[in-house]
Amino acid sequence: MKIFTAEQIRACDQWTVQHEQVSSLMLMEKAAGRCADWFASQIKSERFWIFCGNGNNGGDGFAIARMLYRKGFDIDVFIDFKNPEYSEDARINLQKLKEISGVDIHDFRQVSEMKFKQDTSIVDAIFGSGFHGSLSLDYQKLIAFLNSIQANKVSIDIPTGLSADGLSDSESVFIADHTLSLQFWKKSFLHPETGNFCGKVHILDIGLSPEFIQKTDTSQYIISDSTVQKIYRPREQFSHKGTYGKVHLIAGSYGKIGAAILAARAAVRTGAGLVTVQAPECGFSILQTACPEAMMLSTGNIFSENLHYEEGITYGIGPGLGTESETQNAFLEFLKKINKPIVLDADALNIIALDNAHLELIPKNSLLTPHPKEFERLFGTSANSFKRLEIAKENAEKFGIFIVLKDRYTQIITPKKTVYYNITGNPGMATGGSGDVLTGIITALLAQKYSSEEAAILGVWLHGKAGDDAAKMNSEEALIAGDLPESLGRVFNELKNSHYKKTTK
């Protein structure tokens, strides 16, 4: 699913009006209709306070107010009495609203004097994708007041004060519990500094031109279920373990054998033909007991100092590996022997980060899976996550690598600087060992001859889905990394069913 900028969304809006025999007013009616239906079906409130600006976001708000009133809700609308200038479609919808005697329209400055009844939901239709600069003092006071009220809060299209494309200059931003985003995800929803204001994001299809969407280029995408269904290949009927590749995980050290176990369990559950763990002797019993499906090769006593290289193996290196000087030497020598893509995580990345020259040793199309701190060690600090993404793009291109930047919405950055955001997963996955599982999953996919790009996309999606399945079983709080491989089976079954539904009648 493509992510467009605010400017591209505006162009899409205009193209739809010009080419699809639909007026801008009808589009607003459609958008408001989708929102009103969402409110009626999802929100328990009897009454709504709807705050409307002077542009088309406000226009959506006026139309939503009219529709919710007709559905039987108690509606109060708040506008700026000092500004009588409206966009044409907002003006028409305000006029229609004024014709309804049961809806009271107030100046938003009066809101703090009004009695707030429990069970009122607050709707923010003040500014949407046309917002720029900062808010006037009156609006800042309004947002501060609304943010202080205990209520269910919903933003239409974008929380007021946010920009669609990145950080905004606004001092204050409406804090929503839900954001009803029209047709598209916006980039700012996907980064922590801005996405935190959106609450849960719901994408409402308003029927913008599929032709425009198809022909318009972008370099940023959401990983949609249909993308993953296309990438996924069910297992062949006539196959054997050799068909599905050999994985070696170079992982674990004294006190961190669990990382190797988690990665191994994930790799066997992701369908690799044969999985071997290269780990120090101290992990032998526990590894063979906790994951008997995997073989083990000893690399030392309590940390790795002798790594075993063989042709035809797919390597995943780093979880719990440690950074002892012997391990560093062994790993760097090992890297020089490999000429096909590998997966690098955790301590493998920390060792590479010790010297910039090490980056040159990474085979082309390898996958690096840093969390933000590991990323900083590798490529330097950045002021915010938007800048970090730009740095990631530069380095993915420079070194010909895929960077899987782990976050709430993990970003995959390709050597061509394309960005894929993953939206599966949940905060329960912010727990030790979760990343080790991802390494196991991606390495197993790479061994099954998925390309690096496919392995990254399918891998992060599966990982997030497994997290969602595990949270359903165990809650986000009680979710532990070991649950994730156990959930993969249900996720694969679901994926396989949807894959066949898509490809058969």
Residues comprising the binding site for K(+)? 57, 124, 160
Question: Which does residue 160 touch among ligand LZDS7PUF, K ion, none (CB within 5 to 8 A, set by kind)?
Answer: K ion
136-155 footprint of K ion as x/- string (CB under 5 A): -------------------x
**Smallest separation, CB 124 to K ion (Å):** 5
Q: Count the site residues for ligand LZDS7PUF by CB under 6 A.
A: 30
Helix (H) or strand (E) holding 489: helix 483-503
**Smallest separation, CB 63 to ligand LZDS7PUF (Å):** 8
Applying CB under 6 A, among 70, 71, 132, 200 the residue interacting with ligand LZDS7PUF is 132
Q: Is residue 55 close enough to count as binding ligand LZDS7PUF by CB under 6 A?
A: yes
Residue 365, helix vs strand vs coil: coil
Q: Is residue 31 close enough to count as binding ligand LZDS7PUF by CB under 6 A?
A: yes
Asked whether 28 and 63 are in contact (CB, 8 A), the reply is: yes
Q: Is residue 87 close enough to count as binding ligand LZDS7PUF by CB under 6 A?
A: yes
Looking at beta carbons only, is 59 or 435 nearer to ligand LZDS7PUF?
A: 59
Angle of helix 434-447 relative to helix 452-478, nearest 10 degrees? Answer: 150
What ranges make up the beta strands (E) of 69-182?
74-79, 104-107, 120-125, 152-156, 178-182
Question: Which does residue 120 touch among ligand LZDS7PUF, K ion, none (CB within 5 to 8 A, set by kind)?
Answer: none
Both tokens of residue 123?
A: 């709707």
Q: Is residue 318 close enough to count as binding ligand LZDS7PUF by CB under 6 A?
A: no
Length in residues, the chain: 505
Written as one letter, the residue type at 201 is V
Return d(Cα 363, Cα 339) in angstroms, integer.
6
Return d(Cα 325, Cα 302) in angstroms, integer.
13
Q: Which residue numbers belong to the known binding site for AMP?
A: 406-410, 435
Looking at beta carbons only, is 45 or 56 nearer to K ion?
A: 56
Question: Which does residue 129 touch among K ion, ligand LZDS7PUF, none (CB within 5 to 8 A, set by kind)?
Answer: ligand LZDS7PUF
Q: Is residue 165 close enough to count as binding K ion by CB under 5 A?
A: no
Q: Is residue 312 close enough to count as binding ligand LZDS7PUF by CB under 6 A?
A: no
Q: How many CA atoms lie within 13 A of 127 on its CB side?
A: 23
Nearest alpha-carbon partner for 261 in 280, 281, 283 = 283
Looking at beta carbons only, is 33 or 363 nearer to K ion?
A: 33
Question: Which does residue 132 touch among K ion, ligand LZDS7PUF, none (CB within 5 to 8 A, set by kind)?
Answer: ligand LZDS7PUF
Both tokens of residue 461?
A: 């999606």
Return d(Cα 331, Cα 347) in angstroms, integer.
10
Asked whether 281 and 300 are in contact (CB, 8 A), the reply is: yes
Q: Which residue has the tokens 């994951």?
A: 291
Q: Is residue 27 close enough to count as binding ligand LZDS7PUF by CB under 6 A?
A: yes
Q: Is residue 19 close enough to count as binding ligand LZDS7PUF by CB under 6 A?
A: no
**Smallest separation, CB 1 to ligand LZDS7PUF (Å):** 15
Question: Which does residue 124 touch among ligand LZDS7PUF, K ion, none (CB within 5 to 8 A, set by kind)?
Answer: K ion
Distances (CA, A) of 235 to 270, 461, 464: 12, 19, 22
Written as one letter, the residue type at 356 is N
The total of other beta-carbon atoms located within 10 Å of residue 225's CB is: 16
Asked whether 365 and 338 are in contact (CB, 8 A), the reply is: no
**Cβ contacts of 95 within 8 Å, gap of 6 or more:** none
Applying CB under 6 A, among 68, 143, 208, 277 the residue interacting with ligand LZDS7PUF is 208
* Site for ligand LZDS7PUF, rule CB under 6 A: 9, 13, 27-28, 31, 53-60, 87, 127-136, 156-158, 182-183, 208
* Site for K ion, rule CB under 5 A: 124, 128, 155-156, 160
